[in-house]
Amino acid sequence: GLVNPRELLQDARRRGYALGAFNIHNVETIQAVVEAAQEVGTPVILQATPNTIKHLGIDFLVTLAQAAARKVSIPVALHLDHASEIDIIKECIGAGFTSVMFDGSLLPGELNLNLTRQVVEIAHSYGVAVEAELGRIGGEEEMRVREESFTDPDEAAHFVAVTKVDFLAIAIGTVHGVYRGEPRLDFARLKAIAQKVDIPLVLHGASGVPEEAIFQCIRLGISKINIATELKLAFTQALREALCSSPQESDPRQYMGLARQKVKELVKSKLQLFKLSTNI
Ligand code: 13P
Ligand code: ZN
Ligand code: NA
């Protein structure tokens, strides 16, 4: 069945490696991620945003994730990504998610802290782990990364101590989506945060981050790496190519199968990369 990723991430933090957390959107991408992790031999986190839950329906989503997890021997977690409403968090806890993210990054600091603390109390009473965000990770719509939204190390230490959150998403220069040009990550800031905060740290917006920067992040204390856009692109490109190159094809098993295979290959290469950066 699905597992709470808390201990897996703590172990990753202690031993200096990272777990991949992949955003899934349909049955093919769920299968692709879980099969890839089984073949590489690492635990994996499936994650879904509130919009994905709306698209699939929460029962379908949880049932699919459970079915995928039952077929493999590696641990599989199901995580709610970027939820800013308590209602959807409660719904996911009730439906079988094993961790949830409360994203209060757009709220005033004090409110983010208080709501995160409340979410942690609720989630922990059901054995569900919580990720929170401090600072603000930009989107690609923001043309440049603004340093004033980066995570402050002292504030992070205070936030974690008060909220008792299990993992912390930090802003060090990554953005959601693919980059226009090279991202410049604030490694000194990551190092300072990791010195003051001993829980696993989460890197959002990892699509488009070069390998060397990923290695450096893992070395400095990142234990969960979120990838969404690169998987969406791989799926869509494979599908588009399949449909365009065979306009007569009308068997969804053929073109969906090709798209699934492409996503699986990409996830395998990401997981091998996360493993490579250490000696596990
Ligand atoms: P990317 O779309 O840049 O991979 O970001 C993923 C993410 O942070 C999901 O929470
Ligand atoms: Zn994110
Ligand atoms: Na990105």
Could you give all domains of the chain from N- to C-terminal order, each with its CATH number? 6-276 (3.20.20.70)
| ipTM over the 0.90 cut-off | yes
**pLDDT of 71 higher than 50:** yes
Q: What does the angle CA 6 – CA 84 – CA 188 come to, to the nearest 5 degrees?
A: 60
- Residue 256 Cα to ligand 2 midpoint, Å, equals 26
**pLDDT of 280 higher than 70:** no
Q: Whole-angstrom Cα distance, residue 52 to residue 60? A: 11
Percentage of residues in the chain having pLDDT higher than 70: 96
Res 214: pLDDT: 96
pLDDT tens digits, one per residue of 236-264: 999 999 999 999 999 999 999 999 999 99
Percentage of residues in the chain having pLDDT higher than 90: 91
Q: Whole-angstrom Cα distance, residue 216 to residue 154? A: 22
81 labelled catalytic: yes
CA atoms 59, 64, 70, 74: torsion sign: negative
More confident residue, 145 or 65: 65
Mean pLDDT is lowest, of 68-82, 131-145, 202-216, for: 131-145
pLDDT tens digits, one per residue of 118-156: 999 999 999 999 999 999 998 866 656 678 899 999 999
Whether the full predicted model's pTM is greater than 0.90, yes or no, is yes
Res 275: pLDDT: 87
Is the CB of 277 within 6 Å of ligand 1? no
CA of 23, closest atom in ligand 1 = 9
**pLDDT of 279 higher than 50:** no
142-151's contacts with Cβ under 8 Å and 24+ in sequence apart are 142/175, 143/180, 145/173, 145/175, 145/183, 145/184, 147/186, 150/186, 150/189, 151/189, 151/193
At residue 23 the predicted structure's pLDDT band, cuts being 50, 70 and 90, is: very high
Q: Which of 24, 176, 203, 236 to mutate to test the pocket of ligand 1 (most atoms within 8 A of CB)?
A: 176
Is the CB of 82 within 6 Å of ligand 1? yes
Res 143: pLDDT: 53
177 is in an annotated binding site: yes
**pLDDT of 160 higher than 60:** yes
Q: Which of 47, 229, 231, 267 to mutate to test the pocket of ligand 1 (most atoms within 8 A of CB)?
A: 229
- Residue 230 Cα to ligand 1 midpoint, Å, equals 9
**pLDDT of 180 higher than 80:** no
- Residue 250 Cα to ligand 2 midpoint, Å, equals 35
- Taking residue 4's Cβ as centre, other Cβ atoms within 10 Å add up to 18
Average pLDDT over residues 29-34: 99
At residue 277 the predicted structure's pLDDT band, cuts being 50, 70 and 90, is: low
Q: Which SS3 state, helix, strand or coil, does residue 201 take?
A: strand
Is the CB of 205 within 6 Å of ligand 1? yes
Res 142: pLDDT: 65
Q: What is the DSSP letter of 147?
A: G
Res 182: pLDDT: 77
CA of 49, closest atom in ligand 1 = 10
Q: What is the mean pLDDT of the chain?
A: 95
At residue 179 the predicted structure's pLDDT band, cuts being 50, 70 and 90, is: confident
Among residues 81, 152, 166, 186, which one is catalytic? 81
Is the CB of 206 within 6 Å of ligand 1? yes
pLDDT tens digits, one per residue of 36-51: 999 999 999 999 999 9
Res 271: pLDDT: 97
Q: What does the angle CA 266 – CA 61 – CA 91 come to, to the nearest 5 degrees?
A: 125
- Residue 177 Cα to ligand 1 midpoint, Å, equals 6
